[in-house]
Chains A and B, each alone.
Chain A
């Protein structure tokens, strides 16, 4: 079963506007973590933001915020004041079941390609 679902293969946003990238997840583990990574065309994976399942408040990092709705199992990324440099693939990922010593396995979604239009 798919654990992370990103339903938007591609999104367009006007420069300086805000955009929301959707992510829903599935887990039976009460303790989990949700991550967003940015992958520019150069290929590297850049960590953006983290939300723990027990965190009371939505995570924020600069222009990035995570709209965490636990009951709906959604963890949408909001980028405010989009910039041309935000054009990239964005991946939602989840770490859930502790499966053994030294394991920190992330399960990734298929990604959303964001294009910022000048």
Chain B
């Protein structure tokens, strides 16, 4: 069964460093997302990406964050100058259907980021 894959599974970084989290969405999907879950809290939407551009972003997704689809398969989340409060599990997700459809949003297994 096709799946969304994320790397790394866990990254530890020093405050102020840049981090890139990588995702390979399901191959025929066109809509890509990043969500975040701070430990013990609910999952929060960060950004959606379609047709090589951001289609929507939350207030969490400030200038510190950026997303990119550098080639036909990878979808990356870059966090510049990480802060302690960026420590969280970051989930990549993808879907095949456009908004309004009833299709499933497929999540990856998550990348746990720890900022020291």
Where the two chains meet, the residues of A that have a C-beta atom closer than 8 Å to any C-beta of B are 31, 33, 35, 37, 42-47, 50, 52, 91, 93, 95, 98-111
Tell whether B48 is near chain A: CB-to-CB under 8 Å: yes
Given the interface contacts A45-B110, A98-B100, does A104 sit within 8 Å of B43 by beta carbon?
no
Q: Report yes or no: B106 in contact with A47, Cβ–Cβ below 8 A.
A: yes
Q: Given the complex of chains A and B, what is the CA–CA distance between A43 and B42 in angstroms?
A: 12
State which residues 75-116 of B face A: CB under 8 Å.
Answer: 89, 91, 95, 97-100, 102, 104-110, 112
Tell whether B44 is near chain A: CB-to-CB under 8 Å: yes
The distance from the CB of B12 to the nearest CB of chain A, in whole angstroms, is 16
Nearest neighbor of B97 in chain A, beta-carbon distance: A104
Q: Report yes or no: A101 in contact with B55, Cβ–Cβ below 8 A.
A: yes
Q: Report yes or no: A100 in contact with B42, Cβ–Cβ below 8 A.
A: no
Where the two chains meet, the residues of B that have a C-beta atom closer than 8 Å to any C-beta of A are 30-31, 33, 35, 41-45, 48-51, 55-56, 58, 89, 91, 95, 97-100, 102, 104-110, 112
Chain A residues with CB under 8 A of B100:
31, 98
> Contact check: which of A43, A50, A108 meets B109 at CB < 8 Å?
A43
Sorted nearest first, the 7 A-B pairs with minimum C-beta distance are: A102-B50, A102-B55, A45-B107, A44-B109, A103-B56, A108-B43, A108-B42
Nearest neighbor of A49 in chain B, beta-carbon distance: B104
Nearest neighbor of A42 in chain B, beta-carbon distance: B109
> Contact check: which of A35, A91, A107, A109 meets B45 at CB < 8 Å?
A107
> Contact check: which of B31, B42, B102, B106 meets A111 at CB < 8 Å?
B42
Nearest neighbor of B94 in chain A, beta-carbon distance: A104
A-B contact pairs, 16 of them (CB 8 A): A33-B102, A35-B105, A43-B89, A43-B110, A44-B107, A44-B110, A45-B43, A45-B110, A46-B107, A52-B102, A101-B50, A102-B30, A102-B50, A102-B55, A104-B95, A110-B41
